[in-house]
Amino acid sequence: MLTSILSRLRPSWLPPFQTNPTPTTSQDPEAPPLDIEDEPLEIAIIGCGIIGAILSLGLLAKNIKVTVYEQARSPPETGAGIAFTANARRCMSMIDQRIVDCVAAVATTNGDPSNPNNNMHFVDGYNHDPDGLDDMTWKKLYALATGPKGFEGCHRAHFLEEVMRLFPGGVVKLGKRLDRVEDYGVGKVLLRFCDGSVGRADAGPVIGCDGIKSRVRELILGEGNPASYPHYTHKVAYRGLVPMEEATARLGHYRAHNQHMYGGPNAHVLHFPVAKQTLMNVVAFVTDPDDWPLDRSMSQLATKNEVAGAFADWGPTVRAIIDLLPVELEKWGVFDSLDYPAPTYSRGRVCIAGDAAHASSPHHGAGAGIGIEDALALTALLDMVQSRIKTPGGRKTVALQAAFAAFSAVRRERSQWLVRSSREACEIYEWNDPHCGSDMDKGYDEIKRRSHKIWHFDIGSMLRQLEVEYRRHFGA
């Protein structure tokens, strides 16, 4: 049944799912019943990063059964800094208010905690007097207001650790790396993992929240399709943590304790306080003409000398920031999905969300926030499905396919815009944009326009559009 439906719905370039014959004996422990219409809704989520975890909590809050399969054998201990806009926090509160509390538990105030600075700062980090020691007193400082708590940074792993405390036992299964998804009987999906184990999504739907190297995306779009994989943006991000006492002694209290971004030719530097203002997180982005193969780890060891060479001609403030970095640090290859975007986020009763659907470079700082919008959208849609299947003639299989098709139709345009705009924001910061060039006034205005499109998103309108699309695809 599922195979025939997918054959009618999928574009010709999509490969078929792998299928197994339906077992005919009741002794087979994997044998599903013949009809799923009377079974409760149960969702299989692949990946327990930030988006998978938040989506799971949203579904659990709707009394929808969830099983999360995570390839890591233990919760992550590493990761980059992250900040959530007011819009992202509103989405969190609509999913589960406790998630907002998790942000508050680990977030670091920008500036004075008693009088937080809700601005993103931009400044020219390149031009300077070769004989001068202070290159900032005469430069214009641009301040982009983000709204209350609009730029509170935290560590991804610390935030995720707080979120995971909210999970009931037995929901998350660790060490489960997905190998393939199979049609298995009437309206059933079988999950096969690389360790040889099997999982069964009894009501069929599978949601891939498995990140930038998503296996679910690969299965939906095909292993030979370049859109199945992220691609290198030819930018490297050097990351390091500096003790705040050292940063303050070198840069002054205000500069060290407040977020700043320094623009210049073909590179830019960002820093902001983390760990309750005990550390200053530094990220230096540099253009890289070489290739970065996908099978190479996206994180590599680097040295301070390596990054210092890229900023040797910059102003003394930026050079001082680089000099504060530890002798050994990490460099991350920046990948995204711009070059080969996914033409759809769903296929039948399988879909992808977050980075699995629309991996973005980090230059807007909004990839996770857009993923949280995805989580709210899927929570709302699957709640509609749950309500639908409780009525006579609910047609669960059709309802699930309609929900995922609606998700793709509504969420794709905005999320793909973010992927493109994030790349373009990097060009603005690095004075390569053909309109702005090195004109910081023009660059600031353009970043402000794009940022407001992210921050002032109409969540209510999205939810209404989802319902309209769901009804249209369902035929109601």
Q: How many CB atoms lie within 10 A of CB 132?
A: 11
Residue pair 253/323 in contact (Cβ under 8 Å)? The answer is no
Give the distance, in angstroms, between the CA of residue 215 and the centroid of all CA atoms in the same chain: 16
Cα 300 to Cα 398, 421, 438, distances in angstroms: 45, 26, 31
pLDDT digits (tens, 9 = 90+) for 74-98: 766 556 778 888 899 999 999 999 9
Reported in sequence order, the residue ranges of 78-127 that DSSP labels E, i.e. its strands, are 81-83, 119-124
- Who's near 307: CB < 8 A, 6+ residues apart? 238, 284, 286, 322, 325, 329, 331
Active site residue 239: yes
Q: Which of 27, 36, 26 is nearest to 2 (CA)?
A: 36
Residue pair 379/59 in contact (Cβ under 8 Å)? The answer is yes
Residue pair 109/86 in contact (Cβ under 8 Å)? The answer is no
Q: How many CA atoms lie within 13 A of 94 on its CB side?
A: 18
Q: What is the DSSP string of 451-468?
A: HHHHHT--HHHHHHHHHH
Q: Which of 366, 303, 308, 305 is nearest to 331 (CA)?
A: 303
Residue pair 19/182 in contact (Cβ under 8 Å)? The answer is yes
Whole-angstrom distance, CA of residue 226 vs CA of residue 340: 6
Q: How many CA atoms lie within 13 A of 103 on its CB side?
A: 25
Helix axes 396-429, 440-455, angle to 10 degrees: 160
Whole-angstrom distance, CA of residue 231 vs CA of residue 359: 10
DSSP 19: E
Q: What is the dihedral of CA 418, 421, 426, 429, to 10 degrees?
A: -120
Q: Name the strands in the sheet holding 198-201, side by side, starting at the edge strand that comes first in the sequence.
A: 18-19, 178-183, 189-193, 198-201
Options 3.20.20.140, 1.20.120.610, 3.50.50.60, 3.40.50.10470; which CATH number does 42-474 get?
3.50.50.60
Residue 239 phi/psi, 5-degree rounding, is -125, 135
Residue with tokens 């999205």: 462
**332's tokens:** 């991350």
- Give pLDDT, residue 6: 30
Helix, strand or coil, per DSSP, at residue 27: coil
- Give pLDDT, residue 134: 79
- Give pLDDT, residue 8: 31
- Domain residue ranges of the chain, discontinuous segments joined by +: 42-474
**203's tokens:** 């009501």
Residue 24 phi/psi, 5-degree rounding, is -110, -5
Residues in the chain: 476
Q: Could you say which of 200, 239, 255, 423 is catalytic?
A: 239
Q: What is the DSSP string of 398-426?
A: HHHHHHHHHHHHHHHHHHHHHHHHHHHHH
- Give pLDDT, residue 393: 56
pLDDT digits (tens, 9 = 90+) for 136-194: 889 999 999 998 877 777 888 889 999 999 999 999 999 999 999 887 666 677 899 99
Q: Which of 181, 168, 202 is nearest to 43 (CA)?
A: 202
Give pLDDT < 50 ranges for the chain: 1-35
**46's tokens:** 């692949």
Element (DSSP H or E) covering residue 196:
none
